[in-house]
């Protein structure tokens, strides 16, 4: 099963549901529709309406983040995994570089993953190195630390997906070369096997994924799907990514 996950970030209003209508229309008649899963993470304001519209459809809805406490608290503007689940979301991103830059620590991320899983949300856990770390050949060390400090053997690995998003690639149009990316995905899966003492969870790639470079990315069979940013805001681009992957 391949994953095509769209992260809308700060984008979308109620009428943006038309984007998902077009994606759903495509996937419902696509001959490859049983080979992949589509997940869209809109802003919190759209989760409930989108989840209701696409209940029992090909598209699943998730959140872009969640708070590190379980149900309710006195933390202004915080939204817990319990609240996200209650409005129909099935997935949540955790550990995106945007949120790490805003102060998410490994302890906070571990709590987010734990409480998301306890509320029956599937977690897409994001990891990635910055330009300086890549330049100094610290990519493998950084990724291993991000994984081992947060993910634990007791977590249900069937409900966890890992998304490798090199920070230096996000929004730049630049992606790792095929050989480097293959080595990195293999490294991530090896680390995950040591954590869970069994087969690795799915590992995705994210970072400037578009309808053109998907042709190269699809050749790396170790990649189990893609976390897509800017291109997911366009139904045509998102559909073209899926279409070009299976051509």
What are the residue numbers of the active site? Answer: 96, 165
Q: Considering only CA atoms, which of 81, 90, 88 is closest in space to residue 122? A: 90
DSSP E strand boundaries for 95-180: 122-127, 160-164
User: How crowded is residue 225: how many other Cβ atoms within 10 Å of its Cβ?
Assistant: 23
DSSP E strand boundaries for 22-156: 36-41, 59-63, 91-94, 122-127
Contact residues for 30 (Cβ-Cβ < 8 A; gap 6+)? 242, 243
Contact residues for 27 (Cβ-Cβ < 8 A; gap 6+)? 33, 38, 58, 59, 242
Location of structure tokens 């519209």: 53
Q: What is the SS3 assignment for 106?
A: helix
Q: Considering only CA atoms, which of 244, 183, 179 is closest in space to residue 218? A: 244
Residue 88 near residue 61, CB atoms below 8 Å = yes
Strands 203-206, 160-164: parallel, antiparallel or unpaired by DSSP? parallel
Determine if residue 158 is left, alpha or beta; phi over 0 gives left, psi from -120 to 50 gives alpha, anything else beta. Answer: alpha
């Amino acid at each position: 099963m391949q994953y095509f996950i769209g992260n809308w970030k700060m984008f979308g209003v109620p009428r943006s549901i038309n984007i998902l209508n077009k994606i759903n229309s495509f996937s419902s008649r696509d001959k490859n529709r049983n080979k992949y899963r589509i997940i869209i993470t809109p802003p919190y304001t759209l989760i409930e309406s989108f989840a209701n519209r696409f209940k029992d459809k090909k598209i699943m809805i998730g959140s872009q983040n969640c708070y590190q406490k379980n149900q309710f608290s006195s933390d202004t503007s915080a939204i817990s995994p319990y609240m996200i689940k209650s409005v129909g979301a099935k997935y949540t991103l955790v550990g995106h570089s945007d949120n790490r830059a805003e102060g998410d620590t490994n302890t906070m991320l571990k709590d987010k993953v734990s409480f998301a899983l306890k509320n029956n949300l599937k977690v897409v856990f994001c990891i990635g190195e910055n330009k300086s770390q890549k330049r100094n050949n610290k990519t493998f060390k950084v990724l291993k630390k991000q994984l081992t400090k947060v993910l634990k053997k007791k977590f249900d690995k069937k409900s966890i997906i890992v998304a490798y998003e090199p920070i230096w690639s996000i929004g730049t149009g630049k992606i790792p070369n095929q050989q480097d990316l293959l080595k990195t995905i293999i490294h991530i899966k090896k680390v995950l096997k040591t954590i869970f003492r069994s087969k690795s969870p799915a590992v995705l790639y994210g970072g400037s994924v578009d309808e053109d470079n998907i042709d190269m990315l699809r050749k790396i069979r170790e990649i189990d799907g893609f976390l897509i940013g800017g291109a997911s805001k366009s139904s045509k681009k998102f559909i073209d990514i899926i279409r070009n992957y299976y051509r």
